[in-house]
Amino acid sequence: MPNTTPDIPLSSFQLQSRSLEAVWHPCTQMKQHEIYPLVPIVSGKGVWLYDAAGERYLDAISSWWVNLFGHTHPYINAAIRDQLEKIEHVMLAGFTHEPVVSLSERLKQMAPGSLGHCFYASDGASAIEIALKMSFHYWQLYDQPQKSRFISLQNDYHGETLGALSVTDIAIFRETYAPLLRQCAHVPTPDWRYAEAGESPESYAIRAAASLEHYLAENHAQTAALILEPLVQGATGMGMYHPIYLQRAREICTQYQVHLIADEIAVGFGRTGTLLACNQVNIAPDFLCLSKGLSGGYLPLSVVMTTDPIFQAFYDDKTARAFLHSHSHTGNALACRAALATLDLIEQNQVIEANKAKAAYLNKIAVPLLAHPKVKNFRNCGMIWAFEVDTDERDFAAKCFQAGLKQQLVLRPLEKTIYFMPPYIINEQEMDLLVNGTLQVLDTISN
């Protein structure tokens, strides 16, 4: 039996212990739950999650960055209910349905360049696998089989299936699973925290792009694609970089005939202040991967969008020239309806504009946070905020999570990085609570 704190009511306690017996939780050393209790959530409304004891927690990280408009949103709920009465799911090979067609058309309208062909999967990592396979297969079809390698940025994260993990740069993952992974070069990150003293984020990004060019000048003949997280490198600690890097990366990839895969799984749908991060420099990648916010965080859904030339390369009489890939739930109708409702909400509420005012408010009230002696590298991009906490506290992330709950906040630091990535519906009062609660949390953390 796990230890638990005495103030947890019995029903919560039972749910916790049953969960620990039967559920293997993700991204978790299960033994840690001998010390830290699980939080049994029974309902959600707006930015709030409610536990079995009636306590509420502000979902400051949008349930792992998926939620855009809060929990149990009436409009998205209604769309899913309506779809539920029509058709919940049908396989997408040989069949089609209105939600998947409408969603594809709307995504095509929204995306830059000629990214008009939508290939669906269920989660982010699967979208990455698809983009990598498609890029590789494209070069095969063009009699360039030697173009079979991928490169990504130092500190990039693209998911945890084997292909996605190969292009992910997280030391602990790589070391543990190295024998299963394909070799992948990671070119220097443009993250401005790596800049020399006195070097601007822009100059540093230009310097990082020069390293990319240097690498591709030598290795383009073997390289199928560069994959990157545009503007914000999320999972490795919310590293942020100057958009000039994206512009340079696009130019360099075009020059050296290497595909550019933009992994906007975390940053798409307004997170960075524009609908897509790529919009900030008006570039179009060859592949665009979307998931997380795509369905408003409701249902697992992802999509890879690609261009006419790539689609055309596979268009042939021979089966082997088709793209050889499928998932059972490809294009799930309920998930597509949730996505359509999400796109409606983005448009109807002029979310990109509204978020600018919210971000300005949060930046204004965050001044004491910036000034806090333990806070370093405070940074903001659109609806993402992050900073490092100067502490030697072992187990900082777990302790901070616990201290956050006591302040009614869901904070889940990435090592020493605390970040906010709230649902877009957060209001001023809730932002006050977020900032003030975080200040309290910092004061409970010892040096």
Q: How far is the CB of 145 from ligand PLP (least distance, A)?
A: 27
Instruction: Choose, by CB under 6 A, the member of 13, 120, 138, 157 that binds ligand PLP.
Output: 157
Residue among 435, 276, 278, 320 nearest 367 (CA): 435
Task: Tell me how far apart the alpha carbons of residues 195 and 204 are, in angstroms, rounded to a whole number.
Answer: 6
Q: Is residue 153 a contact point for ligand PLP (CB under 6 A)? A: no
The answer to whether the CB of 222 falls within 8 A of the CB of 146 is yes
**Among 124-132, 176-184, 384-392, 411-419, which window interacts with ligand PLP (CB under 6 A)?**
124-132
Contact letters for ligand PLP, residues 252-291 (x by CB under 6 A): -----------x-xx------------------------x
CB of 182 to ligand PLP, least distance (A): 17
Q: Given the complex with ligand PLP, which of 104 and 155 has the nearer CB atom? A: 155
- Looking only at the bridges linking them, the beta strands covering 185-187 and 223-228 are unpaired
User: Which residue type is seen at 161?
Assistant: T
Give least dist CB 304 to ligand PLP, A. 12
Stretch that binds ligand PLP, among 106-114, 152-160, 341-349, 423-431 (CB under 6 A): 152-160
Cα-flanking dihedrals φ and ψ of residue 312, to 5°? -65, -30
Residue 129 lies near ligand PLP (rule: CB under 6 A): no
CA geometry: angle at 167 spanning 162 and 170, to 5°? 90
The minimum distance between CB 301 and ligand PLP, in angstroms, equals 10
When asked if residue 158 is in the footprint of ligand PLP (CB under 6 A), the reply is: yes
CA distance 378 to 332: 40
Q: What is the DSSP letter of 278?
A: G
Q: If binding is defined by CB under 6 A, does position 229 make contact with ligand PLP?
A: yes
In whole angstroms, how close is the CB of 293 to ligand PLP at the nearest point?
Answer: 10
Residue 298: name the closest of 67, 46, 26 by CA: 67
β-pair type (375-381, 302-306):
unpaired
Least distance (Å) from ligand PLP to the CB of residue 323? 20
Q: 152 in helix, strand or coil?
A: strand
Phi-psi category of 48—alpha, beta or left, where left has phi over 0 and alpha has psi -120 to 50? Answer: beta
- Which residue in the set 51, 59, 123, 191 belongs to the binding site for ligand PLP (CB under 6 A)? 123
Interface pattern 66-85 for ligand PLP (x via CB under 6 A): --------------------
DSSP element (H, E) containing 232: strand 232-233
Q: How far apart are CA 189 and CA 228, in angstroms?
A: 10
Q: Name the one range near ligand PLP by CB under 6 A: 46-54, 92-100, 153-161, 423-431.
A: 153-161
Positions in 287-316 near ligand PLP (CB under 6 A):
291
CB of 413 to ligand PLP, least distance (A): 16
Both structure tokens of 66: 């998926």
Interface with ligand PLP includes 155 (CB under 6 A)?
no
Six-digit token string for 409: 């906040």
**Closest separation between CB of residue 123 and ligand PLP, Å?**
4
Site string for ligand PLP, 230-249 (x = CB under 6 A): ----xx--------------
Q: If binding is defined by CB under 6 A, does position 369 make contact with ligand PLP?
A: no
How far is the CA of 333 from the CAs of 90, 95, 110, 264, 295, in angstroms? Answer: 7, 12, 20, 22, 11
Q: What is the DSSP letter of 264?
A: -
**What residue ranges bind ligand PLP (CB under 6 A)?**
123-125, 128, 157-159, 229, 234-235, 263, 265-266, 291
